[in-house]
Each structure stands twice: as structure tokens, then as C-alpha cells.
Structure 1
Amino acid sequence: MTWSVWHVSPVITSIFFILGVFTLYQVVFDWLKTVVHEKKMSISDNTVKSLFGVIYMLVFIFTMQSTIVGKSISWEFMNFIVIALIFCAYFLNIRVPIYFFVPIILVYMVFNHSIGYWESWCHALTIMLSYWSFNYIQKHPTKSHPFIGYIIVGIIWGGIMWYFVALKFSLTMSVFLQEWGYLVIFEVLLYSYVRMLLHESELKGHLEAFANHDALTKSENYAAYSSEIKYLFANSLRNNLGLSMMMFDIDHFKHVNDTYGHLAGDKVLQKAVSTTQTVIDDNDPKVKLYRTGGEEFNVVFPGYDLPATEPIVSQIFNALNHLTVRNKDQEISFTVSMGVSGISSTDKTPDDFYNRVDDNLYHSKKNGRMQITAI
């Protein structure tokens, strides 16, 4: 219809169809990733990408083929199928072991009524080898021109696959060359389009990271803290879970800046963050550090009551109060004061919780500094 009515070549509509399929994939994947993050599920983005990618492409392949299965034209959607496999193998980098790949191929051959043809077995073997080839070049790309390796693999394996299809269906040489050429065009467009999508996704990730991280210390900032504490606070009250928080700041930090300069003060802040993060990483990665003010930092302990925080708090306190920072030919020593508290039934909002921890920090500073107030 598109050619006879609109005078648009089927290859043009095929291009828009393929691009639409992959755009839909990206939209749904972004939605799934957002849901996983919002619900704090312990599933990595890579796992979501792999599972959804396999399911999405299998549904796409079987749905497309179901419309022509068993017919003399059952080869017509092969380019779509190959492009879907390349998308999974190269762009999503989904590793499919042979014990998983072989059953899928066998089910597809039974579904497509092709299991009794030797050409179909050769074609299936070619598909598996091409998939693993795309996996390999994705992991070991040509450093200066990754596209060259990609397109060479695509042209070679695409030609071999179409050769076996041409044998099985007695296709003419012109049809064989035409379909092979279309596949190469699709591969080039897929590479360009997905690279554009990935670039936009990476840019979005960089912007999100910039918005939620402190530029100087690389720790998460107040915006990230504010978002996380709202969820943790509500989740703690709803499910009767422990939640504790420590706040610390550097004593007489203005004196450090005035005496040694602001660049020296920056080094002190960076050293305090890296030391604190090292202690946290050695104990429990679920504990999070945030820079919530100039020289003020909050450490949030999900699932901890107040006594359970004591070992980590003590380690951070001792580590920070025995630090020195070298600035040119000078050694700068500093101390910190801390306030710690657990969530209370009197806390109606996250700010109530924050203010009680802040009051404990103020108590430490008011009563001599370099101490911990935990109530």
C-alpha cells in the first residue's frame, strides 16, 4: 500500500518502523529504571536492561514472524530479526550463554516450521556465531574507529545468513543482493541512531550526577540528601524500621581558611570526605554521606537504631580527629564535632529529625568541641 498509494519505498517505511521499535524500547526501559529507583529495588540498571532487552526483542521477533509463519515469504522479516539480535548483542551487550541460546533457537525453528531444513540449521548456527561476534567486538572495540569493526562483522555475517536463506527459498541473485544491501543500510542507521540515544542518556546521567553531587568533594549534596531522607523517613515510620543520622562539622573551619587560605580549606574538606567515605565503605555501603553545608556533613544510617551506629561513628570520629593535611610546607591539623540521633516517634517530618541531630551537634560544639553527643 505504501508504494502504490503514497509512492514511498518499503525500505523507507521499514527504516521508520525499526527506529520506532528501538525508540519505544528506550522509552519503556527509562520508565522501568525510574520505577526501580523510586521503589529502591535492589536491582542494578544492567540487570533491568538485560532482562527487559531479551524479553522485548523476543516478543518483537515472534510477533513479527507469526504473521508470515509457514508461508513461502517467511523470509521477508529476516532483516528486522537480525537487527533486533544486533541491538541485543552489540548495543545492550547482553551475554547469552549457549545453554540459553540453543533452546531459543530450537523453539523459534519449531515455531517457524523450519526445523526440517538443513539450510535452517546452518542459518541458526550463523545467527549464534554472529551474535557472539558482536558481543566480542563490543568488548574489544577498535580503539580509533569502533564502527569499522561493527560494520565488517555485520556485512560478513549478514551475507552468510542471507546466502542460506536464498538457498532455502530459491531466491534470485538480485533479491539476495538487495536484501543483503538493505541489511547493511539498517545496520548503519541503527549504529547512528542508537549512538545518538546513548549520548543523550549519558548526558542526562551526567547532568543528574552534577545536580546531586558536590563539585568540590564529590560527595552527594543537600539536594540528594533531601530527596533520600524523605523516602527513608516515610519508609521507617511505615514499616517500623530503624533510621539514624550523624551530623559533623569541622571545628574552627573559618580559622583554617583565614590562616592558610581557602585552597587549604578545600583540601581539608576533601580529606575529611575521602576519609569518612573510606570508613563507610569498609563497614556498610548502604550508609550514605552528604555534604549539607559549607563544612557540615550528614551521614544517614538506614535500618540502624542509635546504639547500632556507635562502631561506625566512633571510627569516623577517631579517623577525622587524627588527620593532618599537607599544604605546601605546612601541616594542617583539625578536629570535628558530632551529633547523632535515631528517629523518634515525636518526629513528624524529616526536618524534625534533622533538627534534633543538629541540636546534638550544637551541644558538642557548645561544650568544648571535638566530642560526640548521641541522644
Structure 2
Amino acid sequence: MGLGEIIRICLSTNALVTGIVTVGLITIITYIALTFEKDIELSSDWANKLVSGLSEVILLFTASFVVIKVFESLTVGSRIELGSLFINAELTLFFYFMFIFNNRLIVILNIGLPLLYHLVSDSQQHHQIVWPLFIGAYVLLAVVTEYLYTHKDELYIFDYRYIVGQILFGICWWCLLWIDFRWPLANIIGMLILFEVYMFIARIIEIKMENYFYTFNRLKKKVNYDALTGVRNRANLNKFSKAVYDEHCKDLWKPLTVIIFDIDGFKNFNDHYGHDIGDQVLRYVSHLVERELHLDNDGGRLFRYGGEEFLIIIEGVNGDESVKLVKSINKTLRNVPLFTQDMSLNITLSFGVTTLRSTDKSFSDVFKRADRYLYQSKNSGRNSFTVEGRTQPNEDKQKNQ
């Protein structure tokens, strides 16, 4: 075996085609993973996770099928070279899928396939099995695979543990393949080098695309979320309100409720304590309401409409049912005042609440009605809520009267 033979294998036309196809598939896979994997991880529905997990496995076999079709078109080169390049591309895909998807099924495939491949391989009929090598390589492969999967969040492109694990993964696989095929050592060394090159490129692609997604998401957040409070802004409201109106105006059996509220006497906070305190009040109220929406579990979305005015859109809940949320917000405000600069600030809100009606021609009609109810609450002495024209004082206001 000479160095020239290894270089020839690594730089062959077939190796170049293999690299282009593999890298192309990895780019597509990375995009899919970065687009959907986070939502899958955050989902609490086990059925969705199972379907997603099976879809990822199907995606892996689809990518493998594409590789098979590409290699069927390669007619130049020895059987040994074509076979080893094909297997190397498959190894790259299986390893990368394990690393980028949080999917235990793919880990099981990575551990189980070497054994399955050996059992069904025709070539094992022609060679005596080297059991110590087979068992040692297989056990080490299982240990390395499990370690890489369980520690993947800690490992990066230049982390020595990742590189060592990746090299051991390739060595174990090619030891198991050598037992069946007894390919020349030059081919195996060449394939190991190509495997490391492919995985290096794959990790670079992943890092670059992660940076792209991070930048894109930051820009998206900046465009759609209020910089001061962190909640959805007016531009986001304009887009969402149209979509949600178009959906619910056709199915009025599923209620759509709009709640508009603002902070009572907000101008006094700015005038007496300064704009920094005013900003703290806005952040405090928005975070408190977001928390109550999360606890309420009705899927409400909070928007900052402008100044001290906010808007909540809740699907599947009518105006009377949403009173529970309004009372919960008021109760928390009453029990947990804002403490800042050795002061305790008591904050109250006024609300206007309405539900989509069959006579509403657009979301603007619903908004205007809720806004009118808000001002009805404010004109009734503030610290009140008005639901479909009926005004009620908040509980703390009732106790003080």
C-alpha cells in the first residue's frame, strides 16, 4: 500500500461526486432540522413527537435512497472503490442524523445496523469471522455512539472529544466491514480520511446555518416584538389579527375574544417618578399578563398596541368566560405590587372585552368595540372592566367603596 494510492482514492472523480451529493443532502437536512427540531422539542404532545421521530427516520432512509440512485449512475471505477464510497456516504448520513436530530430511533439504527448488515451480508460466507475483532469493534461502536448522542450539546466542531469519537465511529465501522469484505487497507484508510472530511464540512455547514437562523430570528423578533416589553408589537398584531379574523368569521361556533386594557394613570408614573420608572411599569405589567396567559392555558396572545395600551386575543373563549382571566390579572397585580427604588407601586388596569359577532365586517369592528368598552371602564372611575357593555369594578375597588 502506498501513499499515492490513498491520495488517488481521496481525489478521484467518484469521491468528488460522492462529496457533492453528500454535502448537498446534509445542507437540506440541516435546514429541515433547524426549522422544525426546536418546535418538536418544545411540544408536550407525545403523539406529535412520535410522528416527528418516525418522519426523521423516513427522511434518513430517503436520503440513503438518493445516495443509492446516484451510485447506480456511477459506472467508472472498480467495484471495491464504488462500494466503499457508497458505504462511506451512508455512514456520513447516519452519523450526521444522529448528531443533528434529537431522535433515539436514529441512535438505535446506528447501533443496530452494523450487526444487521453483518448478518445479511453474502460476503460472510467466504471468510472466517474474526470474533475478537468483531465483538471489540461492535461494543466500542455502541459505547461511542451512545456517548456522542448523550453529550452532543457539549461537543463542537473543534472539541477533541467530538473528533476522537467521530474517528472511533469510523474506525469501528470499517473494522466491521473489513471482516466481511477484506478490502485493501489503502481503500479503508482513504475512506476514513474522506469520512472525516465530509463530517468536517457537515459541521461547518451546520454552524454557518445556525448563525444564519440566529440572525434571521433576531431580525424577525426585532420586527415583530416590542423592544421595551418583549411582547408582540403593533405590526405583529396587524398580521395576526387579519389571519385570525379570516379564520373565525367563517366558524363563529368557536369564539374569538379581544381584550384591550391600559394602565390607569400611567402619565403620573412618568411625571412623578421619571420615564425609567414608567418603563419598569410597562415591563412589569406586560410580563405579569404574559405569565397569567401562560397559566390560563387558553392560548391568548398579548400585543403592545402603543404607549400604555395593550391588547389580548383569545381563541375559543367568549367574553364572559374571559372574565376569569381579567380577575386573575387584577388579583396578581393587587397581591404582587411593583417594588423599585425602595418604593411599592400599586398599579391598576382598565379593561374592555368583546367577542366577534356575525355582524362584524372586519377585525377593525371588533377592535373598535373593545376600545369603546375600555373607555367606558375608564369613564366609570378606572380600575374596572367592561364586558359587552356591562361595567364592573375590580374586586379591590369594590372593597374600598
TM over 0.5: yes
Aligned length: 360
Counterpart for residue 57 of structure 1: 60
Q: Would you say the 8 A contact 1:151–1:188 is kept in 2?
A: no
Counterpart for residue 148 of structure 2: 134
1:201-216 matches, cutoff 5 A: 201-216=213-228
Change in CA separation of 1:313 and 1:133 when aligned onto 2, cut-off 3 Å:
same
Q: Is residue 2:252 matched to residue 1:249?
A: no
Corresponding residue to 1:261 among 270, 274, 292: 274
Counterpart for residue 83 of structure 1: 92
Corresponding residue to 1:220 among 229, 232, 245: 232
Stretch deviating more after TM superposition (241-250 or 159-168): 159-168
Counterpart for residue 93 of structure 1: 102
Q: Percent identity?
A: 21
C-alpha distance in structure 1 between counterparts of 2:335 and 2:175, whole Å:
72
Q: Flag structure 1 segments of 5+ consecutive residues without an equivalent.
A: none
Deviation at 1:225, TM superposition (A): 2.3
Counterpart for residue 277 of structure 1: 290
C-alpha distance in structure 1 between counterparts of 2:16 and 2:370, whole Å:
63
C-alpha distance in structure 1 between counterparts of 2:65 and 2:144, whole Å:
19
Deviation at 1:263, TM superposition (A): 0.3
Deviation at 1:356, TM superposition (A): 0.9
C-alpha distance in structure 1 between counterparts of 2:356 and 2:46, whole Å:
27
C-alpha distance in structure 1 between counterparts of 2:107 and 2:385, whole Å:
57
C-alpha distance in structure 2 between counterparts of 1:271 and 1:32, whole Å:
32
Counterpart for residue 26 of structure 2: 22
> Any idea what the Cα deviations from partners look like across 1:18-65, whole Å, max 9, x if unmatched?
2211223345567879xx99xxxx899987874443222112224434
Q: Would you say the 8 A contact 1:212–1:224 is kept in 2?
A: yes
Counterpart for residue 309 of structure 1: 322
Deviation at 1:9, TM superposition (A): 4.0
Which secondary structure does the structure 1 equivalent of 2:299 belong to?
coil
Counterpart for residue 5 of structure 2: none
Stretch deviating more after TM superposition (126-135 or 344-353): 126-135
Deviation at 1:251, TM superposition (A): 1.6
Change in CA separation of 1:100 and 1:76 when aligned onto 2, cut-off 3 Å:
closer
Q: Would you say the 8 A contact 2:57–2:105 is kept in 1?
A: no
Change in CA separation of 1:13 and 1:177 when aligned onto 2, cut-off 3 Å:
same
- Aligned alpha-carbon RMSD (Å): 3.5
Q: Which has the larger radius of gyration?
A: 2
1:98-117 matches, cutoff 5 A: none
> Any idea what the Cα deviations from partners look like across 1:50-94, whole Å, max 9, x if unmatched?
4443222112224434756xx765443121111111211112232
Q: Would you say the 8 A contact 1:289–1:299 is kept in 2?
A: yes
1:290-305 matches, cutoff 5 A: 290-305=303-318
Q: Would you say the 8 A contact 1:246–1:300 is kept in 2?
A: yes
Which secondary structure does the structure 1 equivalent of 2:160 belong to?
helix
Corresponding residue to 2:193 among 166, 174, 181: 181
Q: Would you say the 8 A contact 1:242–1:304 is kept in 2?
A: yes
Counterpart for residue 167 of structure 2: 155
Deviation at 1:246, TM superposition (A): 0.9
C-alpha distance in structure 2 between counterparts of 1:62 and 1:115, whole Å:
24
Corresponding residue to 1:349 among 330, 338, 362: 362
Which secondary structure does the structure 1 equivalent of 2:104 belong to?
coil
Q: Is residue 2:243 matched to residue 1:231?
A: yes
1:313-352 matches, cutoff 5 A: 313-320=326-333, 324-352=337-365
C-alpha distance in structure 2 between counterparts of 1:281 and 1:194, whole Å:
33
Amino acid at match of 2:61: L
Deviation at 1:125, TM superposition (A): 6.5
- Normalising by the residue count of structure 2, what TM-score does the alignment of the two structures yield? 0.77
> Any idea what the Cα deviations from partners look like across 1:70-120, whole Å, max 9, x if unmatched?
x76544312111111121111223222877777877876788657878589
Q: Would you say the 8 A contact 2:34–2:210 is kept in 1?
A: no
- Normalising by the residue count of structure 1, what TM-score does the alignment of the two structures yield? 0.82
Q: Flag structure 2 segments of 5+ consecutive residues without an equivalent.
A: 1-7, 73-78, 389-401
Amino acid at match of 1:56: L
Change in CA separation of 1:300 and 1:258 when aligned onto 2, cut-off 3 Å:
same
> Any idea what the Cα deviations from partners look like across 1:155-190, whole Å, max 9, x if unmatched?
112112112222321212212211111111112111
C-alpha distance in structure 1 between counterparts of 2:353 and 2:169, whole Å:
63
> Any idea what the Cα deviations from partners look like across 1:233-261, whole Å, max 9, x if unmatched?
22212233111111100122112101110
C-alpha distance in structure 2 between counterparts of 1:163 and 1:106, whole Å:
12
C-alpha distance in structure 1 between counterparts of 2:203 and 2:138, whole Å:
24
C-alpha distance in structure 2 between counterparts of 1:146 and 1:48, whole Å:
33
Q: Would you say the 8 A contact 1:257–1:264 is kept in 2?
A: yes
C-alpha distance in structure 1 between counterparts of 2:33 and 2:255, whole Å:
33
